[in-house]
Amino acid sequence: MKLCVIGTGYVGLVGAAIFSDWGNDVVGVDIDTEKIDRIKKGEMPIYEPGLSEIVLRNISQNRLTFTTSIADGIKDAEIVFICVGTPQSDTGAADLSAVWEVAKDIGKNMNGYKVIVTKSTVPVGTNEKVKMIIRENLPGPQIEFDVASNPEFLREGSSVEDMAAPDRTVVGSDSEKAHAVMRRLYEHLNTPIVECDLRSAEMIKYASNGFLAAKISFINEIAQICERAGADVTVVARGMGLDKRVGSAFLNAGIGYGGSCFPKDVAALYKTSTDQDYDFKLLRSVMEVNVAQRENFMNKVLRHFGKNLAGRTFAILGLAFKGNTDDIRDSVSIEIVKKLRGLGAKLRVYDPEAMYNAKQALGAVNVEYCLDKYETMQGADALFVLTEWKEFATVELDKVKTLLKSPVIFDGRNLLDRAKVEEMGFTYFAVGKRTNGMVKIDTRNLYQTVLLNTNGSTGQH
């Protein structure tokens, strides 16, 4: 099939790569000339395992080309995918200005029947407006088209495999002709295709992200109780997850969810609920718990070191919002680094892929960028594990002990083996378990939340 993919971010570039790998002719479009030049040369603008090989292979077989012109991109396409960003606006709702711009350009350049498919995450009702904008901008009234919603469920870091072998494909449209076109693209996958109306497809995306975020906040609250009651949240999650109805995924307690999707999509879904005169109480709590989770983590640090961190140096492992990505958007790790710095600490930081992005976000003041995980630890007062990179789980503890000034570890992702860490004499803090560090510190009022405002000063509530 002949396809056009507009937007070459995580969704668009991975989508274009996999569609072409399936044997389709794909044109990728982006307004960013520099980005398009880089991709053409085989330089990926994002870190995504396996992506560059697939892009290069399909460029060399002439199935995948790139342009900055929407007119050129859509000329021969049967399906046009909209994959542009929908960041969070000031109101919490998704900012759809890029979607409207692209819809206008598509409309102006239509030259025959096409299915216009939105892959960007957009609130319920958006595709109907996309249809209206395209219709208003058509060069002639006789040109036919349909719209469809085909949300993506890609996880950054695993998006190539998620795109190539999804659990399910969701296609919403009010046109049987459009459904038939989309079926031709996806039916070879042999995975369920949920065919539905536009609004239900739009809701499926938000409901899925909202539910996964709720699972994380649920286990994070269980972690709070485990810490107080002396249970171990990792064991509890394993025991729960083996029940197929519960499922083991997204039950890792930690410092809370971040990234470019969950925080904004949960907020946008909540906004949709209030727009519909409904207060989505559960989702409101999901967001509150997520913020409380990082405060609880910071609380442990402050209880151990006191509220003035001047003169302290901390080793930070992990800056990306999760493992296997260079993305630091809404990264809880970056937030924690900023809070520690705000309280006077110096940070020695390392991430396998996110160093460049972190430098842009954190600058140079009181942050030293290290070449590997061990370099961060030289002379540090404590080690912080903040992102779930596999290579942090296998850190050599005897080496860590010789490098740190004092053997203290704050593990925000429960990555390390508690028994080994404690056996080696570290003072260990994890999430959702009463480790030796938790016992050592003054537990009176331990759980009183310490609010850290943006300039890093503390206040109790």
Task: Report whether 35 belongs to an annotated binding site.
Answer: yes
Q: From CA 208, how far away is CA 194, in angstroms rounded? A: 14
| 254 has binding-site annotation | yes
Closest to ligand UGA by CB, 123 vs 258, is 258
Instruction: Give the residue with the Cβ less far from ligand UGA, 180 or 207.
Output: 207
30 among annotated binding-site residues = yes
CA–CA dist 30, 8 (Å, integer): 6
434 labelled binding-site residue: no
User: Cβ closer to ligand UGA: 170 or 182?
Assistant: 170
The distance of closest approach from Cβ of residue 432 to ligand UGA in the complex, given in angstroms and rounded to an integer, is 12
Number of residues that make up the chain: 461
- Any known ligand binding at 165? no
Residue by residue, what is the 3-state secondary structure of the chain?
A: CEEEEECCCHHHHHHHHHHHHCCCEEEEECCCHHHHHHHHCCCCCCCCCCHHHHHHHHHHCCCEEEECCHHHHHCCCCEEEECCCCCECCCCCECCHHHHHHHHHHHHCCCCCEEEEECCCCCCCHHHHHHHHHHHHCCCCCCCEEEEECCCCCCCCCHHHHHHCCCCEEEECCCHHHHHHHHHHHHHHCCCEEEECHHHHHHHHHHHHHHHHHHHHHHHHHHHHHHHHCCCHHHHHHHHHCCCCCCCCCCCCCCCCCCCCHHHHHHHHHHHHHHCCCCCHHHHHHHHHHHHHHHHHHHHHHHHHCCCCCCCEEEEECCCCCCCCCCCCCCHHHHHHHHHHHCCCEEEEECCCCHHHHHHHHCCCCEEECCCHHHHHCCCCEEEECCCCHHHHCCCHHHHHHHCCCCEEEECCCCCCHHHHHHCCCEEECCCCCCHHHHHCCCCCCCCCEEECCCCCEEEC
Nearer to ligand UGA, 249 or 365 (CB): 249
The CB-of-415 to ligand UGA minimum distance in angstroms stands at 11
153 labelled ligand-binding = yes
- Residue whose CB is less far from ligand UGA, 233 or 309: 233
User: 155 a known binding residue?
Assistant: yes
CB of 249 to ligand UGA, least distance (A): 7
253 is in an annotated binding site: yes
Least distance from ligand UGA to the Cβ atom of residue 256, Å: 6
- At closest approach, how far in Å is the CB of 265 from ligand UGA? 6
- Active-site residue set: 261
Instruction: Output the smallest distance, CB 177 to ligand UGA, in A.
Output: 27
What does the binding site for ligand UGA look like in residue numbers (CB under 6 A)?
Answer: 121, 152-156, 209, 212, 216, 250-252, 254, 257-259, 261-262, 265, 321-322, 388
Q: Which is nearer to ligand UGA, 57 or 418 (CB)?
A: 418
Bridge partners of 114, per DSSP, are 145
Instruction: Output the known binding site for substrate.
Output: 153-156, 205, 250-254, 258, 322
Instruction: Output the known binding site for NAD(+).
Output: 30, 35, 86, 121, 156, 264, 329
Instruction: Output the known binding site.
Output: 30, 35, 86, 121, 153-156, 205, 250-254, 258, 264, 322, 329
